[in-house]
Amino acid sequence: MASRNKAIDVEINDLGGNLSEVKINKVRLGTIDEAQKNIKVNFENKTAVTAKSFDEAVELLISEYNLHH
């Protein structure tokens, strides 16, 4: 029997200054900094990576969340 997909609430908040915050079900995943050419993704565990687009940055944060939950 296949398991059902759960609905999740993904929230993206503009913090100003090219900085956005991503949350799932009110749990903060990290921030996305679009100030430079390469977008910087800051995870809550204090690690950081770069992404080529905003969408890729959001996907990285969500995949990291899914890995641990």
Q: Where are the domains of the chain?
A: 10-68
pLDDT along the chain (69 residues), means of 10: 77 95 94 94 95 96 86
- Do the Cβ atoms of 40 and 50 come closer than 8 Å? yes
- Do the Cβ atoms of 64 and 43 come closer than 8 Å? yes
- Do the Cβ atoms of 23 and 16 come closer than 8 Å? no
Separation CA 11–CA 15 (nearest Å): 12
Q: What is the pLDDT of residue 46?
A: 92
- Which DSSP helix (H) or strand (E) runs through 60? helix 54-68
pTM for the structure as a whole: 0.84
Separation CA 49–CA 25 (nearest Å): 23
